């Protein structure tokens, strides 16, 4: 005999409260396990594909680990130092860029930038503020990240947890499935499949899109000679998950830098514009339809709201769990809405009598 609805709601409410309390008190402690679990979740389809090709689970995990280690070494030696140096240099270059903008406006519109004018003072103050605060922001971000995710967590605990979870992923899923309450197991499985679909579409698909576009923008902009192409590509790729915002922010930043660096060289400026136009065409017609699909179920505004709330309440760990929690809440909300539309509360007594 199934438990009353009120009793079931009480149990599920207690489970949710315990989860939030553990997240609140054990945030820093469970950080490596959350990171390791996220990595294992992302890599599990690759391991499954290797298994379908005839490899054992152990061999599949070993191959994935070797490739991931190689990528990490390449990033640590080549990409990350260059990215940090370009970011710091960009902040230091901003005052010169604003000075050149001031000279351009002086030549073209002398009345706007007279000595003591509001526009001139604003440009000067903005450039100096970015120069003074920009370096501090970069240093504080690096320092905070280093204190939050220390070297031991990055190099030892997270990879070890990820490898073990990846190796035992299918067995853990089977054991959790065996513990589901029998009366609700079919519904829970269906909801879990929908949550997994939303997460896989967004995290795996959109993450791949961000990586591909970020790499494309960075390589293409550096190829045409833009000084801070790697930074612009990283920024544009990182925020591509918000439709049009990544291309808009990256395009404005790249075109603005190109105007100062290549002023008069309209071919180079046109190439920079063409890079972002081509990137948007590829994203809209190839990458997003193929890798993400149309049934993601995570609206960008809902995602940003979840990241903001969980980040403010639970810190960095909260931001990590915000996406899966947002996906789960979205699926549960649609499930509840469907049942509400099938209920007498929505249809009314008249429709029940008619049926």
- Name which residue leads in pLDDT, 329 or 243: 329
Calpha distance 97→117 (Å, rounded): 19
Q: How far apart are the first and last CA of the chain?
A: 29
- pLDDT(263) > 60: yes
- The answer, yes or no, to whether residue 110 has pLDDT greater than 60, is no
For the chain, percent of residues with pLDDT exceeding 70 = 69
Average pLDDT (302-331) is 78
Q: What is the mean pLDDT of residues 308-327?
A: 77
Best mean pLDDT range from 76-80, 133-137, 268-272: 268-272
Residue 123 reports pLDDT greater than 80:
no
* Nearest by Cα to 259 from 246, 273, 276, 249: 273
Residue 108 banded pLDDT, cuts 50, 70, 90: low
pLDDT single digits (tens) 124-157: 665 566 555 555 555 555 554 445 455 556 667 8
Cα–Cα distance for residue pair 173/40, rounded to 1 Å:
12
Closest CA to 196 of 64, 14, 48: 48
Name the band, by pLDDT with cuts 50, 70 and 90, for residue 62. Answer: very high
57-61, 111-115, 196-200, 261-265, range with greatest mean pLDDT? 57-61
Lowest mean pLDDT among 48-52, 167-171, 194-198, 318-322: 318-322
Lowest mean pLDDT among 11-20, 73-82, 110-119: 110-119
Please determine, for residue 169, whether its predicted confidence score (pLDDT) is greater than 60.
yes
| pLDDT score, position 202 | 73
pLDDT above 70 (res 319): yes
CA angle 235, 240, 243 (to 5 degrees): 135
Of 36-50, 191-205, 296-310, where does the model show the most confidence? 36-50
Lookup: tokens for 89? 């240099």
- pLDDT band, very low/low/confident/very high, at 92 (cuts 50, 70, 90): low
Q: What percent of the chain has pLDDT over 90?
A: 2
What's residue 226's pLDDT? Answer: 80
Show the tokens assigned to 308.
Answer: 């903001």
Predicted confidence band of residue 309 (pLDDT cuts 50, 70, 90):
confident
Q: Determine which of 90-104, 257-271, 281-295 has the lowest per-residue pLDDT on average.
A: 90-104
Is the pLDDT reported for residue 115 higher than 70? no
Q: Provide the token pair at 41.
A: 């979740």
CA 254 from chain center: how many Å? 21
| CA 130/CA 122 separation, integer angstroms | 12
How far apart are alpha carbons 138 and 88 in whole angstroms? 7
Residue 264 has pLDDT above 60, yes or no: yes
**Residues 90 and 231: beta-carbon distance below 8 Å:** yes
Boundaries of every domain in the chain: 23-178, 185-296
Q: Looking at per-residue confidence, does 136 or 202 come out higher?
A: 202
The average confidence (pLDDT) of the chain is: 75
pLDDT band at 87 (very low <50, low <70, confident <90, very high): low
């Amino acid at each position: 005999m199934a438990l009353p609805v009120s009793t079931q709601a009480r149990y599920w409410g207690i489970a949710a409260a315990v989860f939030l309390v553990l997240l609140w008190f054990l945030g820093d402690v469970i950080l490596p396990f959350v990171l390791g679990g996220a990595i294992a979740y992302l890599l599990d389809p690759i391991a499954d594909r290797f298994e379908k090709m005839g490899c054992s689970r152990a061999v599949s995990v070993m191959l994935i680990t070797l490739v991931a280690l190689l990528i990490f070494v390449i990033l640590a030696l080549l990409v990350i130092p260059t990215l940090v140096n370009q970011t710091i240099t960009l902040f230091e270059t901003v005052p010169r860029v604003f000075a050149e903008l001031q000279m351009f406006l002086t030549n073209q519109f002398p009345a706007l930038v007279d000595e003591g004018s509001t526009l001139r003072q604003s440009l000067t103050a903005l450039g100096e503020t970015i120069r003074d605060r920009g370096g501090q922001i970069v240093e504080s971000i690096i320092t905070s990240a280093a204190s939050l995710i220390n070297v031991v967590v990055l190099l030892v605990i997270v990879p070890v947890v990820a490898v073990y979870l990846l190796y035992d992923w299918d067995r853990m899923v089977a054991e959790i499935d065996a513990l589901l309450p029998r009366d609700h197991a079919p519904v829970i499985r269906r909801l879990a499949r929908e949550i997994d679909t939303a997460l896989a579409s967004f995290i795996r698909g959109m993450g791949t899109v961000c990586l591909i576009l970020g790499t494309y923008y960075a390589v293409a902009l550096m190829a045409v000679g833009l000084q801070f192409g790697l930074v612009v590509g990283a920024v544009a790729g990182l925020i591509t998950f918000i439709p049009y915002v990544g291309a808009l922010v990256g395009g404005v930043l790249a075109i603005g830098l190109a105007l100062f660096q290549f002023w008069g060289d309209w071919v180079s400026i046109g190439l920079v514009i063409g890079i972002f136009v081509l990137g948007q065409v590829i994203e809209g017609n190839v990458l997003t339809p193929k890798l993400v699909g149309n049934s993601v179920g995570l609206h960008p505004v809902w995602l940003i709201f979840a990241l903001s709330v969980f980040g403010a309440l639970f810190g960095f760990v909260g931001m990590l769990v915000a996406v899966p929690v947002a996906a789960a809440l979205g699926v549960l909300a649609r499930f509840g809405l469907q049942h509400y539309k099938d209920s007498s509360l929505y249809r009314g007594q008249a429709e029940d009598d008619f049926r």
